[in-house]
A and B are shown apart, each in its own frame.
Chain A
Amino acid sequence: MKPTLILVGADKGGVGKTTTSRALLDYMSRKNILARAFDTENPRGTLARFYPGITEIINLEEVADQMKVLDTLNTAAVKVTVVDLKAGALSDALEVFNNIGVLEAARNGDFNLSLLHVIGPSIASLEEMEQVTEYTKGISYIVARNFINETNFFEWDEKTFKKYFSGLSNAHEIDVPKLNEMAYELIDLAGVTFTDFIANKTAKGRDANFSFVLRGYARKWIRDLDAELERLDLIKSLHDLQRTNDPEPAPASPDQS
């Protein structure tokens, strides 16, 4: 089965890239889809704080770290790789990947490559979509419109968005719904996954005392986001991958039949 590489990025900062990566990893964890992650926010590693067990902090500008991600796609036991690109690194990363033939290899079917481009509600974000077009031909390109953070938020001008979006022939679109700010902050402070927060568990698996209401908001948010994610071919292919990896049930022995 072909490995899958998912790049989550944006050139604009503060649009919710890491939150989207966390939500994606959370989804895969709940659906028993094994994944590994690379956090390029070197050296801090916000994603690594929430998923320390499966995340490695790397510097994607270093050749050794590029090798760590790309040269292991086929050999790693876990076939799904999520790379959370730090703010401003999307265009550079795509250029590097283009130059060293990663995009070409994906177009040739050596592995599945998806770009999850998180955009905020600004024209700068929309212009980013135009800028990455030259790289996204022949790969799975997903525009994630982020409504999580209402800071500096203005209502989406759908007409403007559609104008930009219609120029992208192969793009899929999802909305990342808004999560109650207080719930978001509490999850952030607690350093737990969304699933643990909803289950009222600490990062170490102990019982926590999180607000019932805020857990409820998070549960609703996860449900809505799941519905968005499940519209994507990428997610469908991950489910197929997981089914392939699951061991076949042992045939019943004559005694059992």
Chain B
Amino acid sequence: MAGQISSHVYIFCSDRARNGKTLLCRLFCGHLQGSGPGQFHVFDTYSPNGGLIHYFPDNTEIIDFSKTTGRIKLFDTIMAEPERNYVVDLQAHHLNDFFETYRNIDFDLEARSAGLGAVVYFVQDRDNKSLQAAYDLQNRLNFAEFILVKNDALEKRARYDQNSDLAMLLSHVRSIRLPELSDDLLEVLELEEFSLFDFMASRGLDLPYDVKLELWNLLDFFYTQRAPDRNGFTHYL
């Protein structure tokens, strides 16, 4: 019997690299920082050097998902403390292995029984292959929320047929947009000392007015996209 959902594991993934996945994940973690330093844990699968660990060193551990020990570390840690929130920044080449393991160990069901919901953010890339990957992944999930992320910077150069059956099928899936960001803002977001949480609390870097405005607009954009999931939770994204 399913327990009441009280915490979540947020999985940021895609079938391709360099399409905004980690950026989105960072913004999301920046938001979670507001809930307290020990309230979330990040698994950074960019082994060995890591990506997110440079921004959230106190909350992040690097996982080598190509090894069984890495898989044990990730899923066992989650199941040992299901009352916490978790974020997984999944490297594109681990996508299939991750969800294969996820399915083989019945993670969906076991996590749900422990009161832990799963939310999968899939960043859609520019071609049909990526649409197919999104569609296949969505069909593999049982209880997890699947949210398709459309990056405006990629969408304007999209090479998939928007009238294809696949695009039509995916149009029924819940999706959010990541607006195209200016180079100036991207440069700021790249800074290790930048913290979204500090920005929202009006602390830290003294940013140029245009950048601040764009960032507030981005946060506002995210806010207006929010919608409750099947369990009645409204997530930051």
Interface residues of A (CB under 8 A from B): 180-182, 211-217, 219-220
| With known contacts A212-B79, A213-B75, A220–B104 Cβ distance under 8 A | yes
State the CA gap A82–B72 with chains docked (Å). Answer: 35
Q: Which residue of A lies closest to B72 (CB)?
A: A213
> A214 contacts which chain B residues (CB < 8 A)?
72
Contact present for B105 and A180 (CB under 8 Å): no
CA gap between A106 and B62 in the complex, in Å: 60
- B76 interfacial by beta-carbon distance below 8 Å: yes
Cβ of B127 < 8 Å from any Cβ of A? Answer: no
Determine the residue in chain B with the shortest Cβ distance to A224: B104
How many pairs, one residue from A and one from B, have CB atoms within 8 Å of each other in the complex?
Answer: 36
Query: Can you give 19 A-B contacts (C-beta < 8 A)?
Result: A180-B68, A181-B68, A182-B68, A182-B69, A182-B72, A212-B72, A212-B75, A212-B80, A212-B105, A212-B110, A213-B71, A215-B105, A216-B101, A216-B105, A216-B106, A216-B107, A216-B110, A217-B105, A219-B105
Chain A positions within 8 Å of B105 at CB level? 212-213, 215-217, 219-220
Please list the 5 inter-chain residue pairs (A to B) with the smallest Cβ-Cβ separation, ordered nearest first.
A216-B105, A220-B104, A212-B79, A213-B72, A213-B75
B76:A211 contact, CB within 8 angstroms:
yes
A-contact bits for B90-115, CB 8 A (1 contact / 0 none): 00000000000100111100100000
Q: In the assembled complex, which residues on chain A have CB atoms less than 8 Å from the CB atom of B101?
A: 213, 216
* Bound CA span A211–B79, Å: 10
A-side contacts of B104, CB under 8 Å? 216-217, 220
Give the residues in chain A near B68, CB-CB below 8 Å.
180-182, 213
Considering the chains assembled together, what is the distance between the CA atoms of A215 and B104 in angstroms? Answer: 10
A212-B79, A213-B72 are known; give 12 further A-B pairs, CB within 8 A: A181-B68, A182-B72, A212-B72, A212-B76, A212-B105, A213-B68, A215-B105, A216-B105, A216-B106, A217-B104, A219-B106, A220-B104
In angstroms, Cα B15 to Cα A228, docked, is: 33
How many angstroms from the CA of A213 to the CA of B98 in the assembled complex?
A: 12
Residues of chain A within 8 A of B79, CB atoms compared:
212
How far does the alpha carbon of A27 sit from the alpha carbon of B120 in the complex, in Å?
A: 36
Identify which of residues 67-87 in chain B touch chain A, using a CB-to-CB cut-off of 8 Å. 68-69, 71-72, 75-76, 79-80
Contacts of A213 in B (CB 8 A): 68, 71-72, 75-76, 101, 105
A151 CB → nearest B CB, Å: 16
Complex CA gap A212/B107 in Å reads 9
Distance in Å: Cβ of B102 to nearest Cβ of chain A? 9
Task: Identify the closest chain A residue to B80 (Cβ).
Answer: A212
